[in-house]
Amino acid sequence: MKDLKRLIGRIDQLPTLPTVATQILSIVDDPKSGARELVYVISRDPSFTGNLLKRVNSAFFALPRKISDIGQAVALLGSNFVKTTALGVAIFDIFGKSSRPGEPPREDFWRHSFAVGTLARQIGQKQPDVNAETAFAAGLLHDIGHLVLECFDPVDLKLAYAIADADEVPLPEAERRAMGTTHAEIGAELLTLWHFPSELIEPIRFHHRPEECGQHPQLARIVAIANYQCNRYGFTRGVKRSEPALPESTWASLAVPRPEIEDLTQAMAITEQEEDKVGGKFA
C-alpha cells in the first residue's frame, strides 16, 4: 500500500458506520431531539450500553458514584458528552475489541484516545473560540487511522514501526516513508467517507502538523497539544516512540497558558494513578 488513494480505494473492505452511530448522528443533527431520544437509542443495545458505561466510569472524571445507566450518565455528564463518547465507542468497536498479534493492546489504544479527548475538552472549555465538545470528539478520534492501518494494511504499518525504531524518527515520518501517507490523513479520509463535519476532519488530518491546518486551526492545535501532553505523561498507545516538540507558535496561539495545560495533564494522570491504587482500573 503505497499511497492514500490506493488504501481508501479499498472502499468495499472499509467498515460502514454502525447503526447506533448513525442514529446518534441523526440526533445530533435534529434540533428537536434531546436527551430522551439519546437514552432510548443507546439503551436499546444492552451490550453497547455496558461497554459505554465502562468508559463513562473512567477514573478521569472522579465521579462521586458509579454510573449504572445511560440516564444517569446524561444527568451527570451532559448529553453532548455522552453523544460523543457513544459515537467513539461505536466506531472503535467495528474494528474489533482485540488487536492483531504484535500490536499494542486495544485497551491501550482506547486509553490514549480517551485521554487525548478528555484533555482536548478541558483545554477547549478555556478557549473562547472553540467548542469544547468538538475538541473532545476530535481528540477521541484523532488516531482512528491507526485502526484502519492495523486492520487493512498491517504489513506496511509494521514496516513504518521498524523505520521509526531503527531511524529514531516520529511515526508519521516513518509512515510516509513506508506508505506515502500517514495515519492522520487516512483517518481524515475515512471520516470524510462517513460524512463527518470538517471541524472534526481537518484537526484530525493535521494533528501532527497543526500550523498547516487552514480550516479550524485552533482545534488542530488543541488536539496536537493534547496528544503531545498525553504521550509525555504516559497515556500512550502502549509503545513509546520519538515525539518531537511542538512549535512555540502552537502553544502561543491559545488563550490557555502552557503551565495551566501542564497542570491539567498532571491532574488527569494523578487521578488515574489514585484510582489504580484502589483497584479501579481504567479499563
- Helix (H) or strand (E) holding 226, with range, is helix 217-232
Of 55, 70, 94, the residue at which a domain comes to its end is 94
Q: pLDDT band at residue 77, thresholds of 50, 70 and 90?
A: confident
DSSP class of 181: S
Please state, in angstroms and as integers, the Cα–Cα distance from residue 215 to each residue in 141, 184, 204, 234, following that order: 18, 15, 11, 30
What torsion do the CA atoms of 191, 28, 198, 238 make, to the nearest 10 degrees?
Answer: -50
pLDDT of 88-126, one tens digit each?
A: 888 888 887 666 666 667 788 888 999 999 999 999 999
Most confident of 20-29, 193-202, 229-238: 193-202
Q: Give yes or no: residues 20 and 77 share one domain.
A: yes
Other C-beta atoms lying within 10 Å of the C-beta of residue 218: 20
Closest CA to 182 of 210, 213, 148, 218: 148
Q: Give yes or no: residues 199 and 153 share one domain.
A: yes
C-alpha cell of residue 216: 479550524
- Asked, for residue 8, whether it belongs to a domain, the answer is no
The domain of 83 spans 16-94
Q: pLDDT band at residue 3, thresholds of 50, 70 and 90?
A: low
- CA dist 178 and 160 (Å) reads 6
- Asked, for residue 9, whether it belongs to a domain, the answer is no
Q: Give yes or no: residues 211 and 224 share one domain.
A: yes
Task: Give the CATH number for residue 115.
Answer: 1.10.3210.10
Q: Give yes or no: residues 105 and 207 share one domain.
A: yes
This prediction's pTM: 0.88
Q: What residue spans of 168-216 are helical by DSSP H?
A: 171-179, 183-193, 198-205
